[in-house]
Amino acid sequence: MQRRKFLQGVGLAAVASTAGCTQITGSESTEAAGVSGETLTLTTTTSTYDTGLLDAIHSDFEEMYGVTVDAVAQGTGAALESARNGDSDVVMVHARGLEDEFMRNGYGINRRDLMFNDFVIVGPTSDPAGIEGSSSATEALATIAETQSAFVSRGDNSGTHTKEKNLWEAAGVDPGGDWYQEIGAGMGEALNNANQQGAYTLSDRGTYISQRSEIDLTILVQGPIEGGPEILANPYGIMAVNPGVHDNANYDLAMAYIGWITSPGAQDAISNYEMNGEQLFYPEAVSEEPNFQQYVPEGWSSDSDSE
Amino acid sequence: MPIESAVPLLLDNPFQRGYVPSIVYVSLYVSVIAVTLSTLVSLPIGLVMGFTQFPGKQFVKSVINTGMGFPSVVVGLMVLFAVSNQGPLGALDLIFTKQAMIISQFVLATPPITAISLAAITGVDENVRDAARALGGTRLDVALVVIKEARYGIATAVLAGFGRAISEVGSVLIVGGNITSADGISKTRTLTTAIQLEARQGRYETAMVLGAVLVTIVLLVNAIVVRLGETGAMNR
């Protein structure tokens, strides 16, 4: 008797613990029209999520299609890795080199340019390396390295970290030593860390603006939005996961999402999204020009690469 | 750190309505189910190991004890490989769901619950067992008597498992994805991952408010379990 009860308990608990997933699979097989009730998994970067942009604009899409968007903020490297494993349907990231590799390996298709902002070099107001107002990002970094001023690096294979590594390379510096700290964390943590030890760091403008009221760091080298060097541009792209590689990817809904977010309405919503009275992201999907290069890896042409 | 500035935040709540209740719900839902399942697995193991001698018993004990110190991030990665689309459980679509979080917390909570219950069961006086057997009890009766005698130790074991599950951040972040819907209702965001998110954005004060909520919940659960134990003792 007691034993039977015990077994019942195990059975009940097992049912309870899987109840959620039967609901999910159940909703996919219902006869409801179109995509209604489905879930789209979007893996993205911390900068799009932590600025609050996605929460602000997603409810429109969810209402329009009657679906749920699960946004997972991971950083560009991890977001692409999740997609590579077939664990997400669509990726929104900001490292063109990694996006191109992702497409070349067949995992991502239908890439679109989505929006942009820029990177800025921020640091303490005392500016120990004296880089304020520098018009060259690479010279500023070289000066930081020369004076061995503290610099916080994301060190997490994110889009910002990738940009930072490219900048050091362009500056001809191989950063290392006590002054250079890889913290392996998100942008917000990097800003906090730099704030607490009066260090320099590279930040996307959006995350910096959204946290500016919490920290004492100031912009020392501007990005192209405020007339700074073009090398600090920060373009975001969006891609669907290739259903030919991962047949469980929700390709229909992913394309509906890409269609929606590159539409004039959603692009307006992106440009109207402000924090502390400042625009964080600049849409670039709607254009009169064809912009063919957004669909293919950078520099790709059918003559040079005929696989 | 600015504890005093956390107080006004309690008054003007920075979160959307329903946000905090929903992450508390997800935290409790995942941890309670995981710990219940762990207990149902751990107790029989504890009883069998406490009652019988077999070769390799010390080795099994060492394995369980090692499991107590298993880093949650490693457990998260193992569960991620299992439930990811490419993994053996990939077809079940468990990645970024509460079910995946329950699996990882089950793996984390089972070793401490097993080890501490085993210690409690081994600690029950040999005479109690002999008496139960002498009175003509079946194996099941003897087991029940022992569980009753060891109930404080077992309650401690369950609380230790619960404490480990609900306060753990590494694995639920990896397999759950820290997801809320656009209107701020948690899907896989727990108190711990919410604290991590607030800290990441430099909002240390709100992170500490959420931390206080977490500590309060753990305290309440402990108080309730201890209270139940005492009432049980009085009714005996």
Same domain as A280, residue A194? no
Is A71 in CB contact (< 8 Å) with chain B?
A: yes
Give the residues of chain B that fall short of pLDDT 50.
Answer: 1-12, 236
Where in chain B are the domains? 6-234
Interface touch A2/B85, C-beta < 8 Å: no
Is B122 in CB contact (< 8 Å) with chain A?
A: no
Q: Bridge partners of A171? A: none
Structure pTM? 0.83
Q: A139 and A151 in contact (C-beta within 8 Å)? A: no
Same domain as A248, residue A201? no
Interface touch A189/B199, C-beta < 8 Å: yes
Q: How far is CA A46 from the centre of its chain?
A: 6
pLDDT of A11:
44
Q: How many degrees, rounded to 5, is the angle at CA B180 between CA A12 and CA B102? A: 30
Report pLDDT digits (tens) over A44-70.
998 899 889 999 999 999 999 999 999
Report pLDDT digits (tens) over B41-58.
999 999 999 888 899 999
Instruction: Identify the CA nearest to A69 among candidates A46, A40, A105, A36.
Output: A40
Interface touch B182/A18, C-beta < 8 Å: no
Interface touch A86/B90, C-beta < 8 Å: yes
Same domain as A253, residue A174? no
- The residues near A293 (Cβ < 8 Å, ≥ 6 apart) are A299, A300
Is A138 in CB contact (< 8 Å) with chain B?
A: no
Token couple for A61: 């899409």
Same domain as A109, residue A244? yes
Report pLDDT digits (tens) over A158-175.
999 999 999 999 999 999
Environment class of residue A278 by beta-carbon count within 10 Å: exposed (0-12), middle (13-18) or buried (19+)? exposed
Same domain as A251, residue A221? no
Report pLDDT digits (tens) over A199-222.
999 999 999 998 898 899 999 999
Instruction: Identify the three-state secondary structure at position A130.
Output: coil
Report pLDDT digits (tens) over A77-103.
999 999 999 999 999 999 999 999 999
Average pLDDT, chain A: 87
Residue A13 lies in a domain: no
pLDDT of A120:
96
pLDDT of A242:
97
For an interface test with A, the pick among B73, B94, B142, B179 (most A C-beta atoms closer than 10 Å) comes out as B179
Same domain as A141, residue A42? no
A306 has pLDDT over 60: no
Interface touch B40/A186, C-beta < 8 Å: no
Tally of structural domains, chain A: 2
DSSP character string of B39-88: HHHHHHHHHHHHH---TTHHHHHHHHHHHHT--HHHHHHHHHHHHSTTST
Same domain as A107, residue A244? yes
Instruction: Identify the CA nearest to A47 among candidates A160, A148, A215.
Output: A160
Domain span including residue A253: 37-116+235-286
Domain with A201 in it: what CATH number? 3.40.190.10
* Residues of A in Cβ contact (< 8 Å) with B39: none
Same domain as A165, residue A215? yes
Q: In the CATH scheme, what is the code of domain B6-234?
A: 1.10.3720.10
Same domain as A96, residue A192? no
Nearest CA in chain B to A3: B140
Q: What confidence tier does A34 reach under pLDDT thresholds 50, 70, 90?
A: low
DSSP B16: P
- The residues near A291 (Cβ < 8 Å, ≥ 6 apart) are A113
Residue A4 lies in a domain: no
